[in-house]
A and B are shown apart, each in its own frame.
Chain A
Amino acid sequence: MRAFAAQILPSDDGPGAVEAGAVHFIDRALGTSSFAEIAPLIRAGLAELDFRASAFDATGGFASLSGVQQIAIMKRIESERFFTEARTLVLIGTFADPSYGGNIGRAGWAMIGKEDHDMYTAPFGWYDSQSGAAPAHSAA
């Protein structure tokens, strides 16, 4: 799962899904009622990844493959339900409220540039910070 998550949101130019704790979230989530229904699908899908890895003569399963090999396998299964559900789990684990066990240190929100405050004051973005914007049309 860790290797899969690392390919969904890689740790290339900064923290990815792994640093955000997505795997920790998924371990916890699969034991809860919200995701219990898909737990067998996820386990079977991960076993399938390891099985497909054997085609590359890997002895350590999917995780032991090179990134290029992992991506090649994932491209072959990206329309399968396992892939869709596992991808969604990685994204929830990365971006959900940290109370669920992922998004550690709000790393997921930092990854997409979202500040983390309970309140914000205007201006909020660049365009509203610029003066001279055309005024709204008001009634005479």
Chain B
Amino acid sequence: MNQRTFSENETVDFVIVGSGAAGGVLAKELATSGFDVVVLEQGPWQQPSQFTHDEMAVEREGAMLNTGVEPYQSFRITDAESMRRNPGRGLLYRRGVGGSSVHFTANYWRFRPIDFKERSVLGPISGTGFADWPVTYEELEPYYTKVDWEVGVSGAPGVFDPPRSRPYPLPPLPNKSSGVLLERAAHSLGLHAQVAPMAILSQRYDGRSACMGCGHCYAYGCEFGAKSSTLASVIPKAVATGRCEIRADSTVFRVEMNAAGRTTGVAYWNKEGKERRQLARAVVLAANGAETTRLLLMSASPAFPHGLANSSGVVGSHIMFNGGSSTTGRFDHPTNEYKGHVVSRILLDFYESDPKRGFYGGGGIDARFNNGPIGFAVNGLPEDLPSWGSEFKRALRDYYTHSVRFAAHLTTLPVASNRITLDPEHRDQFGRPALCLTYQDHPDDMETKRWFRDRTQELMEAAGASRVWNQPVLPIDSGVHLLGTARMGNDPRESVVDRYHRAHDVPNLFICDGSSFVTSGRGQPTMTIQALAYRAAEHIARFARSHEI
């Protein structure tokens, strides 16, 4: 793509670290507002035509994931344990222009008003950093709507929707068998299935193609540009302003500071591993909850001995992933869930936490079956069925095209001791310390998973499945939703950024991505990450124009 380029000696208005869900939006908004922007992205700039349906490469070898490039991550349950290799898949995200918005499933649930003020409504929860957000749903609503219309979201109003100021720009994607079965189950139990909002185009929109139903949303990139990644939606617009350079294959390793306590830009390695610098009047970190943390911790200095912008000590802490649990069912007729988008119906009856349950937690349930043939054959069948031989072969045929999963997407509590730190014993190809996750599920989070597993089982039975089996409820050691590690707040002693995403400690450093979350929401964070990014961009531009940076 032809784009304006900037010299490294040139002091640009903004350097943005990361080009994913948040970085792409910030780049487009700040460039459109008339500022010079350089986006540094550690992965390559792939075009949609380079994305494949290759399950071996994508799902088994991590072609779309950081772990395909940097395989070592550490884990421990508590500080008392020594760091060991993460037994699971680790902290997962995609490196490349568009970030994880390229390979995500594209569930675009808004948060609801309760998500921003649960602490006030429910009271404190001991052993946690459960807190209200410094923004409300009402403040964020115009930006949710902006996301709908700017990136392209398909949907229809649902019974549990929060207020919206404008309809969806696109009608819903077609309902799938999984969605019909969730509707049936909900109806028979007196519950309410509703249309899933998806960041996938149901019709041509804004010069982009409609979804072709290829069946490779989850974990894959969309070769049609119909999935509303920032790669397909806002990044081309950022570049078209002539004021934004997307510099791919550029791995930032330090935010640079001057004696006055202001950032002067960033230091990074280019594709050849050579050290480079980019000067900027202000720096915006949008590198995701794991990499934003690593960068702040690696930018420690005598003025910031525990990491940049970390006078509070909470950088990296309170990580939240969104727990999950699920039930699978086999039906008498074909469901063919391998075709089309992943999710068409969701059920939000159990969204809010209910003190009567005896624990904190809530969530949403969706209907899907996103197993590829290899993954399904290796371990997708019920455990009591044979795993090889004639009966195994018959079961694969009977189940692969006839199965549906009801999956719950849940709250996780912010706990200070659950956090990302650096493991200096293991380093990547550049010498950066590996990410270490310290994580122990809060007891309420485990209760929430079990409670929702019982609900998904009831729904699956009500849907009429001829065979029902639960996936085990497990503690978390890995995740794709990397939330809460540089939380927003009004109190600099307890949070990293203020309500406008400005670091409490550094006036010209902004942080806006999943790390900004105060609480986890219910499962699907990207819509809120982008609404925050639109809101942050508007305020950052305002500060810049009025010389308040």
Which residues of A pack against B, CB within 8 Å?
7-10, 12-13, 16, 34, 71, 74, 78, 87-88, 91-92, 94-97, 99-100, 108-109, 111-115, 118-128, 130, 133-139
A120-B56 contact in complex given A7-B388, A139-B159, C-beta closer than 8 Å: no
Known pairs A126-B333, A138-B195; list 5 more (Cβ under 8 Å): A13-B390, A95-B373, A125-B336, A128-B177, A139-B157
Contact segment of B102-110, B115-123, B125-133, B391-399: B391-399
State how many residues of chain B have any CB contact under 8 Å with chain A: 58
CA distance A127 to B161 in the complex (A): 26
Contact segment of B145-153, B313-321, B337-345: B337-345
With both beta carbons as reference points, the residue of chain B lying nearest to A71 in the complex is identified as B389
Looking at chain A's contact residues, is the secondary structure mostly helix, strand, loop, or mixed?
loop
Which of these, B53, B161, B215, B388, contacts A120 with CB under 8 Å? B215
Which of these, B53, B174, B194, contacts A136 with CB under 8 Å? B194
Which of these, A100, A121, A137, contacts B158 with CB under 8 Å? A137
Contact segment of B178-186, B421-429, B439-447: B178-186
Contact in complex: B54, A99 (CB < 8 Å): yes
A sample of 25 cross-chain residue pairs with beta-carbon separation below 8 angstroms, ordered by A number, consists of A8-B389, A10-B389, A13-B390, A34-B61, A78-B387, A91-B374, A91-B377, A108-B373, A112-B397, A114-B373, A122-B213, A124-B335, A125-B336, A126-B177, A126-B333, A128-B174, A133-B184, A136-B183, A136-B193, A137-B159, A137-B186, A138-B157, A139-B157, A139-B159, A139-B161
Q: Determine if B353 is an interface residue (Cβ-Cβ < 8 Å).
A: no
Using Cβ atoms and an 8 Å threshold, which residues of chain B touch A137? 158-159, 186, 192-194
CB distance from A122 to the nearest CB of B (A): 3
CB distance from A110 to the nearest CB of B (A): 10
Using Cβ atoms and an 8 Å threshold, which residues of chain A touch B339? 115, 120, 124-125
CA distance A119 to B222 in the complex (A): 12
Using Cβ atoms and an 8 Å threshold, which residues of chain B touch A78? 387-388
* Nearest 8 CB-CB pairings of A with B: A125-B177, A122-B174, A126-B333, A127-B177, A120-B339, A119-B212, A95-B373, A124-B339
Q: Determine if B187 is an interface residue (Cβ-Cβ < 8 Å).
A: yes
Q: Determine if B538 is an interface residue (Cβ-Cβ < 8 Å).
A: no
Contact in complex: B184, A134 (CB < 8 Å): yes
CA distance A13 to B157 in the complex (A): 48
